[in-house]
Amino acid sequence: MKLTDQQVAHFHREGYLFLPELFTPAEVAVLREEAGRIYAEQRPEVWREKSGAPRTAFAAHLYNEAFRLLAAHPRMIAPVEQIFGEKLYMHQFKINAKSAFTGDVWQWHQDYGTWARDDGMPEPRAMNIAVYLDEVMSINGPLMLVPRSHTGGTLVATHDLRTTSYPLWVLDEATVTRLVEQGGIVTPTGKPGGLLMFHGNLVHGSAGNITPYPRKIVYLTLNAVSNYIRTPTRPEFIAHRDFTPIEPVADDALIRYARTYPAAAE
């Protein structure tokens, strides 16, 4: 797939781009089912809320076939290659959950702030590109983005080790207030299969989920090969050390896998 000139311009101006229902219901159904299986496992890659509910499953593309295909899917890879103008490698892969009733917050932050401080990434030439596995609504803890906040560079942040089960470099309230006064807040809501991409320095966060509606999103952190991390401090399943360029699979790879999936025969 190829982004239009208008889509590229929107990304550079606003810092994000949302493409609704880019993946089919059949593709999403397999990914959602496999995510549930992974969350049920007891393994170091699966991190949980303080309540015990799943929060993040790292590196699923290394131990699950459906997510391996997603990690190399051209609908995920091609837009970022187009923006960066070079080949990519997988810096991080995670499935984030906002469980019904118990999904916790993600504080206001910039992703590149963590990649730079914890992983030694030289420049913000990496970004998150996400696919929605559940419907993301205004009520179930959607991602909140501050448009155009990526233009301010990497901001001063503090390392929050207490608020949630996941350590994060977070922004203070005064900084967030100033940026929101300038750019506002948007919540890209959409049906399962929607795809969201946003700049590594775009300020974002999300509230807790106290509704009966879960919200799962798969994130690929795709980094330009020339921008590989220099001084990683986090486990390899969080910040990958394999800088091999990704070779995309066929566009119908997930569809073909879905046809072989046990649920497809029922």
Structural domain includes residue 51: yes
Structural domain includes residue 265: no
Looking at residue 106, its pLDDT comes to 83
Structural domain includes residue 154: yes
Looking at residue 159, its pLDDT comes to 87
Q: By residue range, what is the domain housing residue 133?
A: 5-258
Structural domain includes residue 264: no
- How many domains are contained in the chain? 1
pTM, whole model, 2 decimals? 0.92
In CATH, what number is assigned to the domain containing residue 166? 2.60.120.620
Structural domain includes residue 26: yes
Cα of first residue to Cα of last residue in the chain, in angstroms, is 32
Q: What average pLDDT score do residues 137-143 get?
A: 95
Looking at residue 164, its pLDDT comes to 67
Structural domain includes residue 70: yes
Structural domain includes residue 151: yes
Looking at residue 53, its pLDDT comes to 84
- Alpha-carbon distance of 218 to 136, in angstroms, equals 12
Tens-place pLDDT, residues 202-247: 999 999 899 999 999 999 999 999 999 999 999 999 999 999 999 9
Flag the least confident range among 53-57, 159-163, 192-196, 199-203: 159-163
Q: What average pLDDT score do residues 238-265 get?
A: 88
Structural domain includes residue 263: no
Looking at residue 265, its pLDDT comes to 39
